[in-house]
Structures are given as structure tokens and as C-alpha cells.
Structure 1
């Protein structure tokens, strides 16, 4: 039976390895723990859920993998820090877009859009309005340069349409334009009236386009987690820091003690103040937590016994408002499985989260039935709840109106022997899995340096590096398996 005060002691320093506690078992936390263990630290990882992965959640209840959280590799290239691992594991990617346009993770020709009467929008019109949308976004840059104060992308678009009436659309064309704006809202997981004009396009997009993880992200996180000391069902409630180390208390009262802690819980959890810090975090850190914004995008996966929809990557319903628009990711195109994934974001996502899973799945199916009257009922469904799940309280971070981008860095900067990681601490790659992974490695290296400085033993250990599958394969570059059907 374990003591209530557990894991590492700070006495007899010369006889034990340096130690760290990692809080949160998503990609940032697993990457940090993996790297520190490779640097000869004693590491324990505390995870509140009954699984690892965090906002990466691959579900197998359909009999095959479906990602209910992150599912894309944004930047299918060797520069992506996850590419070497994905390549060595032989995990296939389905490239949904070959470039990094404002239309983000899908190309124009991959859409089949329908009006609410079930008539398919002519592809020429889809292409034309897509080009108009890009033009409107380019015009918003002029508005940005003219204004000192920030505003929402929705307000900037209104100004552009006032100035350039030739860009205004009526009828079906207007509805298609709303659908493109709805897709943009899905990228940021929030509504257009909350997205910053000043910063919406400041995220760095790696080259190579966007690839869907055909077999899900679970094999990647499981590989990183091998051999780690992971404690599931360990919800952290208090973190006490002092000169000699940290004490981390979990919900059942057990306390873990180590030289340092790396905190990788989602921004939504930090914003909820469910973890008490003693002493309090400095005001600049509390401000970053308070002012940074997290959005919500959910997935409702519908499993059918047969395919009755067109052979495209995205099926969309256009409407006169973004709230009325909807879109379905066609997993059959990428994986061969008869699954459509409905993906509501922003206010719509929050409203659907108030429903039961059965009602949410029915709502999604009714959107489909409106445009495809011959649609058969789903045989199974899965529903995510990223906005209300107490372990996430949101999907990922976005640039809110008036929010300085330096807040991401403020969230990342260590406080004494507390280190921070996660997608919300990544200035360049906010909201991405590779962003979370990179910050985990960065926090591990900062932690290693700080702890060994205190030991006076900086030459004791090698720098952290993410050795994944043995030293003999660490330097071998394996090409990514990319398909486009």
C-alpha cells in the first residue's frame, strides 16, 4: 500500500536521480515525460482521465479507429516534429489539402455543398464563391492596416462588403459564402465575431498541406508512453512550490513530491481554477490564463451500414447564417469505412452539448436527411463533449479580439520550478498536436537545465531528445505514407 505522501523524496540528493512530476497525459505531457526519462530523470505522470491522450481520443467502438479529438497532421513534411515518429510507425496519412490556403485543411474541389432543399450547389459556384471568400479575406488586411484597434473578423468582413459592394452575394451565393465562413469558424473552434482580425492569420503553417491520420493518433501516443510511470484517475487539485521542490496533491489526498513539475493541463482547466497554486502564480501568469481564449469544436461520428453519399471529402449544407450551415467529414473517402463526422463549432457546438448523445446524433442525422432524403439511419454513433468535459473545458486555443499574441509565451514561461506546456503555450503552432508535442519537449529541456543547475551538475546528463524506437533507428528518416484517393 502506498503512503499518502508518495513518489520522490528530496533528501539524500546525491544518491538519487533528479525528479519531476508531469501533470496531464496529452501529447505535451507524454512528450515531456518521455524526454525526461530519456535524460535519466525519475518521472511520474498524473492524469485525471481513465486514459492517456487528452484531447487526442481515438475510439475503437465501431470496430475501427475514429478520432473524436485531433485527427489531422497539419504540415505533412519532414519539418513537422511528429513526422519521424509517424513515418517509422508506418502510419498512413490521407492528404486532404496540398497547400496552406485560407481554406485550410481541404481543397475546393473536395466539397459537395447542398442547399436546404437538397439541391447540390453547382461546383462552378462553389469554386467561384471560394475565390470570392479569399478575396474578402485579403481585403480585410487593408482594414487591419488602417485600424490601430483590433476588431473581429466578422466586423472586418462587414466593412469590406460595405466598401466593395461587388463582393456582396445574394441568394444561394450568399449562403455558400456563409458556409465558407462557417468552415473558418470550425478552424478556430469559435464564431467569427470573436476571432481577432489582427492575429487570425499569424499562426505558422508548416508546408506540405494537411493529412488525416487514417489509423488515428492512438498508436503515436501509445508509442511515446511506453515504459512511463503513468497514474490514471489522478486529478491534481493543489500544487505547492518551494525552494526545495514541489508537492502535488491529487483528489484522493495523496501527495507527490519532486524537484519540479511540468503542467500540461488544457487552458480550459487552468481557467476554471480547479488547481490551487501555493503560493499564487504571479499576476502576469494569471493574466495569461485569464485572457487567452479557448474554443469548442465537437465531433458526432455516424456509422452507417452502407454508403449513400457522394464520393467527396466534405459534404456541406449551406444556409443564410453560419449557425445554420453544417458540414460532414467523409471518412469513407480516406479510410474505407462508412462513417460521416458532423463537426459543429462555436455557439452551435455549445448548444448541441446541452443535448443527450442520442439527441445530438439525431440532430446531426437530420441535417444529413435534409440534403440526402434517401439517407439510412446510422447503426452506431459517437459524440464528443470537449466544451463541457471537466478534463478539457474546450477544444483548443484561438486568437480572440484584443488578445496580444505574447500571452501564449507568458503562459509558457516557467515560474520557479513549475514549467508549462501544451498547445496553448505554442506561439507558432497553437491548437495543433505538433505544437503541443514541441512545447512538451521544450518544457522538459528547461526543467532538466533548471534542476541540474540547482544540483550544480550541469554536465551530468545529456540534453533531452525524443528517442522513440531505439537508438539504432533514431536517425533513420522514413518517408511518410501519403495517399490521395
Structure 2
């Protein structure tokens, strides 16, 4: 049995025992009063999904949100009225059988499909890859994947970077090969999992499942989903939670402004917020849950949207790759010209470099982006007419983009994080889904899971 399969089996057994324990509460009579009141902390996708499901089943629910908007790490900007842009999650990843697709179909929400096949890759000098360079890059990519496969067969876990160390050493005499290796690690792994190869677990970095099919983005942004889920929900905005008191029969949630009382609370705070200890639990959480919070990682993936008067790059491609001289610097770009007929480029920075540039000014970030584009498209590359930039790691209500499996963690820790405590504390959010962490569908499904746990009480 593969290491991952064995771990999932143990997790299912563990969860099964936990579910039975949750069902040992007092008998439930008819009427809303007997069902009690639930506080949902966080109006992101997980919180909205949980609150909507509970309310539709007759439960008394209130959503407490620190921001002045819904969505959390789903955030559609309307700064450019003719092109809503998602500053957080953007795509339905794998549209086939994806619950996000089902929601979008229900709303008849228009979507655009981007294709990884429509890709142009440029070398460090800005030259389009030749067939030979493309073959060389694919060969190095295969070697990276083989090194990681071999690392996953060993008992002792190491980081992704340690797993490819021997390959790195072998390629080092060639500057071009070394840059290609770093490009593969950055674009295929660090950007995908929002984490540094120096921190990602080689055993578990890719343990998530996925859905098949294309990736699709919303014409009006992901807000069409969150707006739908939030319909008729009572939401208290600008309520920054400071403490959750659950030691007695009644649960109390203390914010900077007021106190909320209920029978139970659903915590959908991002992993980074929970790790920051900005919210106190009284009594403290069980040790297994605290260990899981400490071991899992919160990643960084930031966006820089650049708008131009007209597109100066190929109109028939969706993705641009650049083998930068410095590891992880502006390796990946998305063009909105083909799919939306908009002269907009989206540049990504992840992991260490994504965190580093959060301390830069907007002007420094844009200047760095334009410097890379001028390597590719020449000195005549114009300045953008407008830009939009994210800084998720320093956002106090996110403290990162999404979670990853760090060295020292295992997927079963996400199941531990998801377990209810004394039928009072319930946990949801992408970090609590062992199969679909780091995704919108993972967050949504975790909210439905929590609702089901509560409905079974």
C-alpha cells in the first residue's frame, strides 16, 4: 500500500470514531429553539457554505466577519468596471464534477476557459524557446519528478529542495541547466503550492486530489458564488474576533466591539490567522489540534495585474513562462487578451520572493515586473496604464494565500484540524480538507462537512 493510501485509511477510521462521539448529544425536539444557535466565524467560502446549509435546515445562525465585505480570500475587485478581477482565488481548477461548477451552472454564471496548452516560454535572455530548449526543459522536469518520486519511497521525509539536491549538484556546471531546474521547481511546484521548496514536504507536498477538465474563471469574478451563498444570511461585519470561550455550556465569542453567545461556534479562520495566535481559545485547544496547526504551512502567492493600452505580446496564448536569472522572479504570467479581449497581464510571485516583495512599494513591484517584460519584449515595452497588487501574507485577516504540507506535517493533521471539540467547536476552511486543501472547492466542501456534523447532533 502506498504511503498516502495507508494514511488516508487511518484518517477515515479516526474520523469515523469522531463522528460517533459527536452524535451522543441530548435528544433534539422540534423547532429552532431546540436546535440552538450557531456562530460562524468568517464570511469566506467555507463559512458561507456552512451558514447557508444550517440556515436552510432551520438553524439559528449568525456570521461574524472581521472585514467589511464577504469572501475572505475570495475577493473580486471592481476597480476596473469593465473587467472585474479576482485578487484571491481566480479559477475553478478542474471543471469536471467540481462543486464550484455545479454552483456556477445553477447561477448560469458566464465563464472563460484558459488553456495550459496555449503557452509561450522565454529563456533568461527573452528569447522564445527553441524545440531543443523545450525538450531540455521537459527532460529536466522529468528528472525533478523522478527525484521526488524516489524521495517519496523512502521512510524519512525531506524537503522538496533536499530531494532534488543531487540533481542540482549534477546540473550546476551548466548555468542554463541550473536555471531550467529552478524554473521547473518554481513554476511547477512553488507556484502551485504557494510555498518554498525549502519548506515543502517531499512526501506530502502533492497529496491533494484534483478534478479533471479545464480551468475556468468567471466573467464577473468569483463574487457571483459568494454573493449567492450569502443571500439572506445575517452577517455582522467589522467584528474582529479576539477570544473564543468554550469551557462552559454556553460558547461566547468576544470581538473588539461586542460579545456573541451561542451553543456552538464554527471557526473558519485561515490557517495563518490561527497560527498567529491573534485569536485566543479559552480553554486552549487540545494538544493534537495545536500540533497540527504548528506543523502545517501557510503559503504565499501574490498577484500583480498590469493593464496596458494595447497588447504587445502574442494574442493567441494564455500563459507566458520566463526562465529568470534569479530564482522565482516573475516566472509565470497570464494573458487576458485571448479569453477576454483585454490587454491585461497577470504576474505571479510565490514563496520566498512572493513574501519578500510584500515589503516593496507598489512602484517598486511594478518596476520589477516591467523590467522582466522588457527582457522578453524589448526596451519599447510601455508602462502600464493601471495596476492592482496583492499582499496576502501581511493581510491580518489572511496571513497568507493558502495552506501547504510542510516538512514535519502529514495530511492526517488536516483531519485532526477538522475534528469537532466537545460538540462546541467546529472547524472548516481549505486547510481542514486533506483531499482538496488550497482550493475553493476544498473550502466549500469543508463548510458543507461542518454543517452536516452539526445537523447530525
Q: One fold, TM greater than 0.5? A: yes
User: CA separation in 2, counterparts of 1:92 and 1:15?
Assistant: 37
Deviation at 1:407, TM superposition (A): 0.9
**Equivalent in 271, 275, 286 of residue 271 of structure 1:** 275
User: CA separation in 2, counterparts of 1:322 and 1:213?
Assistant: 31
Q: CA RMSD, aligned part only?
A: 2.1
- Runs (4+) of structure 1 moved beyond 6 Å? 12-15
1:260-303 CA-partner distances (Å, limit 9, x unpaired):
11000100000011111111111111111111111101001111
Counterpart in the other structure of 1:61: 79
TM-score w.r.t. the length of structure 1 is 0.83
Q: Which shows bigger deviation, 230-239 or 88-97?
A: 88-97
Deviation at 1:243, TM superposition (A): 4.5
Q: Tell me whether 1:76 sits opposite 2:95 in the alignment.
A: yes
**Consecutive unaligned residues in structure 1, runs of 5 or more:** 1-11, 98-105, 451-485
Counterpart in the other structure of 2:385: 379
User: CA separation in 1, counterparts of 2:372 and 2:38?
Assistant: 49
Deviation at 1:191, TM superposition (A): 1.4
User: CA separation in 1, counterparts of 2:32 and 2:208?
Assistant: 45
Q: Is the 8 A contact 1:125 1:173 kept in 2?
A: no
Q: Is the 8 A contact 1:27 1:54 kept in 2?
A: yes
Deviation at 1:436, TM superposition (A): 0.3
Once the two structures are superposed, the pairs formed by residues 82-231 of structure 1 within 5 Å of their partners are 82-97=100-115, 106-107=116-117, 110-145=118-153, 147-160=154-167, 170-183=174-187, 184-231=189-236
User: CA separation in 1, counterparts of 2:178 and 2:166?
Assistant: 16
1:101-125 CA-partner distances (Å, limit 9, x unpaired):
xxxxx34xx3222234332222552
User: CA separation in 1, counterparts of 2:125 and 2:86?
Assistant: 31
Q: Is the 8 A contact 2:357 2:365 kept in 1?
A: yes
Deviation at 1:324, TM superposition (A): 4.0
TM-score w.r.t. the length of structure 2 is 0.87
Counterpart in the other structure of 2:327: 322
Q: Which shows bigger deviation, 399-408 or 294-303?
A: 399-408
Q: Is the 8 A contact 1:214 1:334 kept in 2?
A: no
Once the two structures are superposed, the pairs formed by residues 7-86 of structure 1 within 5 Å of their partners are 16=33, 18-63=36-81, 64-78=83-97, 80-86=98-104
User: CA separation in 2, counterparts of 1:71 and 1:176?
Assistant: 27
User: CA separation in 1, counterparts of 2:291 and 2:376?
Assistant: 46
User: CA separation in 1, counterparts of 2:121 and 2:64?
Assistant: 45
User: CA separation in 1, counterparts of 2:256 and 2:175?
Assistant: 55
Deviation at 1:337, TM superposition (A): 1.4
Q: Is the 8 A contact 2:68 2:237 kept in 1?
A: yes
User: CA separation in 1, counterparts of 2:47 and 2:429?
Assistant: 8
User: CA separation in 1, counterparts of 2:163 and 2:219?
Assistant: 37
1:119-150 CA-partner distances (Å, limit 9, x unpaired):
222255225413430343034312331x3211
Q: Is the 8 A contact 1:295 1:396 kept in 2?
A: yes
Deviation at 1:171, TM superposition (A): 4.2
Q: Which shows bigger deviation, 386-395 or 287-296?
A: 287-296
- 3-state SS of paired residue (1:202): coil
Counterpart in the other structure of 1:409: 415
- 3-state SS of paired residue (2:210): coil
Q: Is the 8 A contact 2:112 2:219 kept in 1?
A: yes
- 3-state SS of paired residue (1:141): helix
Q: Is the 8 A contact 1:178 1:325 kept in 2?
A: no
Q: Is the 8 A contact 2:32 2:60 kept in 1?
A: no
Q: Is the 8 A contact 1:62 1:303 kept in 2?
A: no
Q: Which shows bigger deviation, 205-214 or 13-22?
A: 13-22
Q: Is the 8 A contact 1:118 1:371 kept in 2?
A: yes
Once the two structures are superposed, the pairs formed by residues 448-463 of structure 1 within 5 Å of their partners are 448-450=455-457
Q: Is the 8 A contact 2:71 2:223 kept in 1?
A: yes
Q: Tell me whether 1:336 sits opposite 2:341 in the alignment.
A: yes
Deviation at 1:325, TM superposition (A): 5.2
